[in-house]
Amino acid sequence: MAHIALDAFGGDHAPYEEVKGALLFVEKTGHKVTLVGDEKKISPLIPKDSKIEIVNAPERFGMSAKPTEILKRKEASMNVAAMLVKEGKAEGFVSAGNTGALLVLGTFLLGRMEGIERPAIATVMPSKSGGTVLIDAGANLSLKPPHYVQLGIMGVAYAKGILNKKNPKVGLLNVGAEEEKGPDLLKEVYSLLKDKFGETFCGNVEGRDVFYGDVDVVLSDGFSGNIVLKTSEGVGLFVSEMLKRSIKNSNVIQKIGALLMKGTFDKFKESLDYRKYGGAFLLGVNGIVVKAHGASDSKAIFNALNVAATGIDKKIIDTIRGSV
Alpha-helical regions (H) of 47-183? 77-86, 99-104, 145-161
pLDDT of residue 156: 95
| Exposed / middle / buried, residue 166 (Cβ in 10 Å: 0-12, 13-18, 19+) | exposed
CA 309 remoteness from chain centre: 13
CA nearest neighbour of 311 among 2, 31, 8: 2
Residue 65 forms part of a structural domain: yes
Over the stretch 139-182, which tens digit does the pLDDT of each residue have?
Answer: 999 999 999 999 999 999 999 988 889 999 999 999 998 888 88
Q: Is residue 229 located within the same domain as residue 160?
A: yes
At how many degrees (to 10) do helices 298-313 and 16-29 cross? 50
C-beta neighbour count of 233 within 10 angstroms = 15
Q: Is residue 78 domain-shared with residue 107, that is, in the same domain? A: yes
Q: Is the pLDDT of residue 128 over 70?
A: yes
Given a cut of 80, whether residue 7 has pLDDT beyond it is yes
Phi, psi of 159 (to 5 degrees): -60, -40
Return the percentage of the chain with pLDDT > 90, whole number.
70
- pLDDT, residue 273, reads 55
292 located within any domain = yes
Q: Are residues 79 and 108 in the same domain?
A: yes
Question: In terms of residue numbers, what domain contains 222?
Answer: 119-242+277-282
As a whole-number percent, the residues of the chain with pLDDT over 70 amount to 93
In a domain, 137, yes or no: yes
* Packed helices 252-260 and 262-271: angle between N→C axes, nearest 10 degrees: 60
Q: Are residues 62 and 134 in the same domain?
A: no
CATH code of the domain containing 148: 3.40.718.10
Give yes or no: residues 124 and 229 share one domain: yes
- Flag whether 157 is in a domain: yes
Claim to verify: residue 149 and residue 80 sit in the same structural domain: no
Residue 274: pLDDT band (50, 70, 90) is low
Nearby residues of 223 by Cβ (< 8 Å), 6 or more positions away: 141, 142
Is residue 125 classed as helix, strand or coil in its secondary structure?
Answer: strand
- Model pLDDT, residue 48: 86
Query: CB under 8 Å to 168, separation ≥6 — which residues?
Result: 133, 155, 156, 159, 160, 200, 216, 217
The total number of structural domains that make up the chain: 2
Strands, sheet with 3-7, edge to edge from the N-terminal-most edge strand: 53-56, 32-37, 3-7, 92-95, 288-292, 279-283, 120-125, 132-135, 217-219, 170-173, 201-205
Q: What is the pLDDT of residues 61-111, one digit of tens each?
A: 999 899 999 999 999 999 999 999 999 999 999 999 999 999 999 999 999
As a whole number of Å, the end-to-end CA separation of the chain is 27
Alpha-helical segments (H) within the chain: 16-29, 39-42, 77-86, 99-104, 145-161, 184-197, 209-212, 222-248, 252-260, 262-271, 274-277, 298-313, 316-321
pTM of the model: 0.88
pLDDT band per the 50, 70, 90 thresholds, residue 236:
confident
* C-alpha to C-alpha distance for 308 and 257, rounded to whole angstroms: 40
In a domain, 263, yes or no: no
Does residue 157 sit in the same domain as residue 209?
yes
CA-closest candidate to residue 9, choices 67, 54, 47, 71: 54
Instruction: Examine residue 261 and state whether it is found in any structural domain, yes or no.
Output: no
Strand 120-125 with 132-135, pairing: antiparallel
Average of per-residue pLDDT values in the chain: 90
List of residues 6+ apart from 285 with CB closer than 8 A: 106, 107, 110, 111, 112, 113, 119
pLDDT of the residue at 213: 80
Among residues 263, 246, 170, the alpha carbon closest in space to that of 215 is found at 170
pLDDT of residue 49: 84
- Kindly state the average pLDDT of the residues 41-48: 93
280, β-bridge pairs: 291
> Do 196 and 139 lie in a common domain?
yes
Q: Is residue 191 part of a domain?
A: yes
Q: List pLDDT tens digits, range 243-268.
A: 778 777 877 777 676 666 666 556 65
